[in-house]
Structure 1
Amino acid sequence: MIRLNLDTNLEKYILSQRGNDKMKLSINNKTRTSVSIDYRAISATLSFSPKFIPGNNEDDLKGKSSYTDLSFRFFPKRFIQTFYYKKVKGFYVENMKDFVPDWQEADAYLQFPDLKVVSFGGTTSYVFNKNFSAKSVYTHSEWQKKSSGSWIPYLDYDVSFFTNTINEVKNKEVQYKIGANMGYFYNWIIRDKVNVAPYLSVGLGGQFSGSQENNEQKENEQFVTLRMEGGLHVGYNSDRFLFGGRMNFRAYTYQKNGEAVENNNLYGLLYIGYRFAPPKVVKNTYDKVQKKIPVL
C-alpha cells in the first residue's frame, strides 16, 4: 500500500520566564508532504517540506527553514515499535509584537537561521486488548469489523542535538529523554468502510542534558518532564482505495531555571492511498525474513 500525505507541521518551542513575555520560536515551513509504504507488519514514511507549497516560501520575512523526517514502524504481534529521525533548521520569533510593539506584519521577523535540531528516537507500545487492531488506525493494513478500544502503555525515548551560532559563538546542547506513558485508543466503526478513532495519552519522564559553548563544557542538567498527546482520525477504507484526515496535538514541557520550556506540535493531516499486489521480489524477501523472525 502506498499513501500520500499532506499535513500542516506547526512545530514550535516556547521559552517563558516568570514575569516576562514568552518567546515563541517557530519554523518557516508550515506544510509538509510525506510518502508512506506499508507491507504486512512494516511501515515506512519519508516527510519533507517542498518550497512550492504556499506558506513554505516566506524566506524574506521569516528566513529559510528546512524539515526532514524519516520513520519506520513495526507490528510484532501486539507490540508496536517505532524508530524515527528528524532534522529541523531555521527558526524565527513568531510573537514579535510582544517585544516590538510597533512591529507590523510586513516587517521582518527576528531570525535564528543557524538554530538546528536533530533527533533520533522511538517508541515501544503494547496493545492490551487483542480485539483492537492498531494497524487499522496507524496504517489501515487491517480491517476492524466491530468497534473496540484498548489501553496502550508505551515508552518514548530519544536523543536530540541542538546547535546554534550567534556572533561567531557556537552553542551546542545534547538532550536525552525517556518517558512512560499511558493512552486510550478507540476505533469506532460507523459503517463497514468508515471509522472514527480518537485517542488521548499522558506521560511522565526524565530529561538529561549537557551544553557547550565554543567546545567548552558549561553544565549538565536533569529535569522531570510532562507530556500529553491526543488526536482524532476519520477515514474511509475499501479493498483498493483509502482516504481520510487526522488532527493531532503533542505538548511537552519541563522547568529550567525558573523557565517553562515547551515543545508543542499541532497538525492536521490529509491522506489518500492505494493497495496493489506486491512485486514478487518483495513478497519472497519478506517471506524469507519472516521465517527467521516469526514476529514479523
Structure 2
Amino acid sequence: MRLPHLFTPISVFLLLLCGWNAKSQKINLKTINDTAYISDHSNDFTFRLYGSRKYTSYTLRDHDKDTKLAYKPNDNYNLGFGFNYKFIGLNIGLNFPFINHDDDKYGTTNYLDVQSHIYLRKLTVDLWGQYYKGFYLSNPSDALSNFNASSYPIRPDIHLLALGIDLQYIFNDEKFSFRAAFLQNEYQKKSSGSWMLGGSIYNVFLRGDTAFVPTHFVKPENDANYYFNKSNIYSIAAGGGGAYTFVIKQHFFITASAMLEAGFNYTVMKNTWSDTKDDRGGPQLITTVRFAAGYNSEKYFAGIHIVDMNSLSGSPIPGVTQTYGGGNVRITVADRFKVKRKTEKKFNEVMDKVIPGK
C-alpha cells in the first residue's frame, strides 16, 4: 500500500509556513521588479494541470575498489492540479494504478514525500521531508557478479528518512525570476540571470534488517563494520552558484541554475547484530540543479521543470562515501485569470483575520 501523494509544494508545511511566508512576502514586496524584464501575476489566480515524478536514492561507493551499490525506491508518476494566488500555493497529485504497475519488477515502496520548493523574490527555500520504505538495487549487473534476471534485487526492509532545509539568496531579483519558470505566477520577458549564495542543513537516516552490503560483495578479510545496517548522516554546508534564463522570441524560455555547497558531516554507522558502531566527521558536498524550459506569456504557460539535489558525505569506512539524492520532474500547463476586485477585497479581509498584521 502506498501512502497518498498530496499537497506539493507547501504540502504539510502549509499551515506552519503560512504566517511566515506571508510576512516574508511583505518584505519581498519592497523589491520592485523591473517591468521591462518581469511581469508580476501574483495577484492573478494561476490554475495548473501537471504530471510529476518525485524521486530519491541512496548510493554507497567504494572508491578504492571502484564499486558501488545504488539503491532506489519504486517511485511513482502522479497526475494532479494546483493553483497559486498571492502568497498561497497548493498542488494535489494523485497516484493512478493504471500508470504505476511495475511492482513485480521493482518491488513495492511505501512512501510519504513532502518536499517543498518555495520561491520568493529574494530567496529560494527547499524543504525536504522524505520517508521511503522498500528499495531495489538499481545496478545489479555492476554490483553483483553473474547477475542475469528480468527483475531487480529487492530490499523491502530498507527505510530512508531525510529531513533538510536549503536557503539560497538571489542577488539580481529585480531582473531575474525563478517564479516565472517554477510557479508560473510571473512572466520573464527578457533574458537575465543572477548570482546566488546559500546554506543547508540535512539529516539522513537509513536502516535495514540486513546489511546494506551483501556479504558476498566484499572479501572476508574486510572490516566487519563494512556490513553495517544502519547509517545516520548529519551535515551542514554553505556555498554559491548562479542562474540564468534565456528568453527566445519573447515567449520561449530556458532556465538553468546550479548551486555547489561545501561543509562538514558527522556520520554514525552501526552493525546491530555485532552491536558495533563507527562514527567519524568528514567533508560534505551538496549540489542543487534546477532546469526549466517551455512557453510563457501574460496568460498561458506550458513547460517542464526539474529540481535535482545530491548530498555526498564521507563515512567512517576509509575510501567509502554515501550519496543521498532527491528531486522531482514536472510537466505543467497553466492558465492565469484576473481576480475581481470584490473577490480580492474579501480574500484580504479573511487573511487579515487568519494572519493579523500580515
Task: Determine which of 325, 340, 351 is the counterpart of 1:286.
Answer: 351
Q: Is 1:223 matched up with 2:267?
A: no
Aligned residue number for residue 56 of structure 2: 11
Q: Distance in 1 between the 2:94 and 2:321 partners?
A: 29
Task: Check 1:261–1:84 CA distance in 2 against 1; reply closer, same or farther (3 A cut).
Answer: closer
Aligned residue number for residue 165 of structure 1: 209
Task: Determine which of 177, 185, 201 is the counterpart of 1:141.
Answer: 185
- Whether contact under 8 Å (2:306, 2:330) holds in the other structure is yes
Task: Determine which of 251, 254, 263 is the counterpart of 1:205.
Answer: 263
Q: Please state whether the residue corresponding to 1:52 is helix, strand or coil.
A: coil
Q: Distance in 1 between the 2:144 and 2:118 partners?
A: 48
Q: Distance in 1 between the 2:149 and 2:327 partners?
A: 23
CA shift for structure 1 position 97: 1.9
Q: Distance in 1 between the 2:278 and 2:81 partners?
A: 40
CA shift for structure 1 position 100: 4.3
Aligned residue number for residue 169 of structure 2: 126
Task: Determine which of 239, 252, 276 is the counterpart of 2:311.
Answer: 252
Q: Distance in 2 between the 1:48 and 1:176 partners?
A: 32
Q: Distance in 2 between the 1:212 and 1:282 partners?
A: 53
Q: Distance in 2 between the 1:22 and 1:287 partners?
A: 54
Aligned pair count reads 289
Structure 1, unaligned stretches of length 5 or more?
none
Aligned residue number for residue 185 of structure 1: 243
Q: Is 1:270 matched up with 2:331?
A: yes
- Whether contact under 8 Å (1:42, 1:75) holds in the other structure is no
Aligned residue number for residue 110 of structure 1: 153
CA shift for structure 1 position 290: 6.8
Task: Check 1:155–1:20 CA distance in 2 against 1; reply closer, same or farther (3 A cut).
Answer: closer
Instruction: Indicate the percent of aligned positions where both proteins have the same amino acid.
Output: 22
Deviations 1:41-74 (A, max 9, x none): 3434566754431xx4322232111343224454
Q: Give the residue type in structure 2 aligned to 1:237.
A: N
TM-score under structure 1 normalisation? 0.80
CA shift for structure 1 position 114: 1.8
Q: Distance in 2 between the 1:102 and 1:217 partners?
A: 32
Q: Distance in 1 between the 2:350 and 2:330 partners?
A: 32
- Whether contact under 8 Å (2:134, 2:156) holds in the other structure is yes
Structure 2, unaligned stretches of length 5 or more?
1-45, 212-227
Q: Give the residue type in structure 2 aligned to 1:196.
A: I
Q: Distance in 1 between the 2:353 and 2:245 partners?
A: 33
Q: Give the residue type in structure 2 aligned to 1:254.
A: S
Q: Distance in 2 between the 1:181 and 1:57 partners?
A: 41
CA shift for structure 1 position 260: 2.5
Higher strand share: 1
Q: Distance in 2 between the 1:138 and 1:99 partners?
A: 37
- Whether contact under 8 Å (1:46, 1:69) holds in the other structure is no
Higher helix share: 2
- Whether contact under 8 Å (1:47, 1:68) holds in the other structure is no
- Whether contact under 8 Å (1:203, 1:226) holds in the other structure is yes
Task: Check 1:35–1:221 CA distance in 2 against 1; reply closer, same or farther (3 A cut).
Answer: farther
Aligned residue number for residue 136 of structure 2: 92
Q: Distance in 1 between the 2:204 and 2:276 partners?
A: 17
- Whether contact under 8 Å (1:45, 1:72) holds in the other structure is no
Q: Give the residue type in structure 1 aligned to 2:351.
A: Y
Aligned residue number for residue 155 of structure 1: 199
Task: Check 1:157–1:249 CA distance in 2 against 1; reply closer, same or farther (3 A cut).
Answer: same
- Whether contact under 8 Å (1:48, 1:68) holds in the other structure is no
Task: Check 1:105–1:69 CA distance in 2 against 1; reply closer, same or farther (3 A cut).
Answer: same
Q: Give the residue type in structure 2 aligned to 1:4.
A: L
Larger radius of gyration between Structure 1 and Structure 2: 2
TM-score under structure 2 normalisation? 0.68
- Whether contact under 8 Å (2:292, 2:303) holds in the other structure is yes
CA shift for structure 1 position 217: 7.5
Q: Pairwise CA RMSD of aligned residues?
A: 3.3
Task: Check 1:5–1:232 CA distance in 2 against 1; reply closer, same or farther (3 A cut).
Answer: same
Task: Determine which of 68, 74, 99 is the counterpart of 1:22.
Answer: 68
Q: Distance in 1 between the 2:272 and 2:130 partners?
A: 25
Q: Distance in 1 between the 2:91 and 2:281 partners?
A: 32
